[in-house]
């Protein structure tokens, strides 16, 4: 079964990528993070612990976003410098964006990560809601980032590093389609049925009463 079919067959089969980053692994939050997604009704269909090369991490960011992503990230970084009354050390938004990408890649490849594919109705949006905003400090209480870490853009900028926010989650379905093949082969994805899916998705809830 192709990646496209895995993601697009039916709304309940939407699949999305989640990566528990090195800080999440080192803080022994793997089980807690999985529990948050699992109890929402999402189904885990692939998981592995790996140490990504920096080359793979760069591919993860650049292959999905390309030059347009670098330009936008660079623009935001420049705006952040200006907001603090500072001048960006980079001449162009593209250079700034590339620096951000390399910092992210260094972070993602700094230690073991747990890559996962979660499946379910609106899986991508639901995962992002459970995960919380990119900056932990401003993430809502009750989200993973809001509950389990405290990093900020300001601290990351001061230390000239990426924000340590525990998790990568696909931004949308299109991103998931590009990201999943970077981390998983097709034969590593398990298609199976959970008993709970009858309650979540069965049209008539047949078979509940004896």
What DSSP string describes 14-80?
A: -EEEEEE-HHHHHTT-HHHHHHHHHTTT-EEEEEEEE---HHHHHHHHHHHHHHHHHHHHHHHHHHH
- 84's CB contacts (< 8 A; 6+ apart) are 157
CB 139 within 8 A of CB 152: no
Residue 60 is among the residues annotated as catalytic for this protein: no
Spell 173-195 as b/e; 16+ CB within 10 A means b: bebbbebbeebbeeeebeeeebe
Can you tell me the distance from the alpha carbon of 35 to that of 142, in angstroms, rounded to the nearest whole number? Answer: 13
Which of 162, 177, 51, 187 is CA-nearest to residue 101?
A: 162
Catalytic option among 148, 168, 177, 184 = 168
Q: Is the dihedral of CA 6, 25, 155, 62 positive or negative?
A: negative
Catalytic residues: 168
């Amino acid at each position: 079964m192709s990646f496209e079919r895995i993601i697009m067959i039916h709304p309940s089969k939407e699949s999305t990528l989640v990566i528990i980053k090195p800080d999440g692994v080192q803080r022994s939050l793997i089980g807690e993070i999985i529990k948050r997604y699992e109890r929402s009704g999402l189904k885990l269909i692939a998981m592995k612990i790996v140490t990504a090369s920096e080359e793979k991490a760069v591919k993860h960011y650049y292959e999905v976003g390309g030059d347009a992503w670098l330009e936008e990230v660079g623009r935001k970084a420049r705006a952040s410098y200006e907001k603090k009354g500072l001048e960006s050390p980079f001449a162009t938004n593209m250079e700034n964006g590339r620096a951000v990408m390399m910092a992210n890649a260094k972070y993602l490849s700094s230690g073991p990560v747990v890559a996962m594919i979660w499946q379910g109705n609106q899986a991508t949006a639901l995962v992002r809601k459970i995960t919380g905003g990119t900056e932990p400090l401003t993430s809502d209480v009750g989200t993973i980032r809001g509950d389990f870490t405290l990093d900020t853009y300001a601290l990351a900028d001061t230390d000239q590093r990426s924000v340590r926010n525990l998790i990568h989650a696909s931004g949308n379905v299109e991103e998931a389609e590009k990201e999943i093949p970077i981390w998983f082969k097709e034969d590593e994805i398990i298609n199976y049925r959970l008993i709970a899916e009858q309650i979540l998705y069965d049209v008539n809830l047949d078979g509940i009463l004896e």
